[in-house]
Structure 1
Amino acid sequence: MIGFIVAGLIIGALARLITPGRQRLSVLATLLLGLVGSVIGGTIANLLGTGDIWELNTLGFIIAVVASVALIGVAEGIAHSKSKA
C-alpha cells in the first residue's frame, strides 16, 4: 500500500512537470490524481495483457502518467471555471 502511494505521488509529480503552465494543485490533489492515473494505467495494461493491475510495469507506468496529465487538465479546467463564476 505504501508503494502504491509513493508511485501515485511520483506519477502525479511527473504529470505536473509534463503539463504546460502553472498548476494550482496541492500536494494532496497531486497524489490523488496520480493514484487515479495509476489505477487507470494498471487497468489498461492489464487489459492489454502486460501484467496485473497493482503491478508496476513500463506500459502501465507510461499510461498512468498520460492519464494523470489528462486528469490534471480536467481538474485545472474545473477549478478555472469555478473561479470565474
Structure 2
Amino acid sequence: MESSEVISSIVIGIVIGTLGRLVLPGRQCISVLWTIGVGIVAAFVGTGIAADLGVADPKGIGWMEWLVQIGLAAVGVTALERAKAHS
C-alpha cells in the first residue's frame, strides 16, 4: 500500500466513522476522536473484507465496499460505546 493510498484511507475512514455513527439511533457517548479512529479501522478492515469477497475493485463506485465499511464502523461505534458504558 502506497502512502497516498494510506492517506486516502484515513480520509475515507473519517467519513466512514461519521456515517457509521449516523446510522445508529440515538445519541452516542463516545468522542469524535474515537469515532474517527473506529472509522479508520473500519475502512482498512472493510477494504480487506471487500477484497476477499471480490467486490473491492469495481469499474465504477465501490458501493459494496462502502457498505461493508459503514457496517463495520456502526458495529465498532456500538461496541466501543457499550464498553465505555460498562466501565
With normalisation by structure 1, the TM-score equals 0.83
1:9-48 pair list within 5 angstroms: 9-48=14-53
Where does structure 1 lack aligned partners over 5 or more consecutive residues? none
Paired AA for residue 41 in structure 1? G
Shift of 1:26: 1.7
Shift of 1:5: 1.5
Please give the alpha-carbon distance, in whole angstroms, between the structure 2 residues aligned to 1:49 and 1:43.
10
Shift of 1:39: 1.7
Where does structure 2 lack aligned partners over 5 or more consecutive residues? 1-5
Q: Report how many residues are paired.
A: 79
Q: Which of structure 1's runs of 4+ aligned residues deviate more than 4 A?
A: none
Please give the alpha-carbon distance, in whole angstroms, between the structure 2 residues aligned to 1:2 and 1:43.
16
User: Of 68, 71, 76, which aligns to 1:66?
Assistant: 71
Root mean square deviation, CA, Å: 1.5
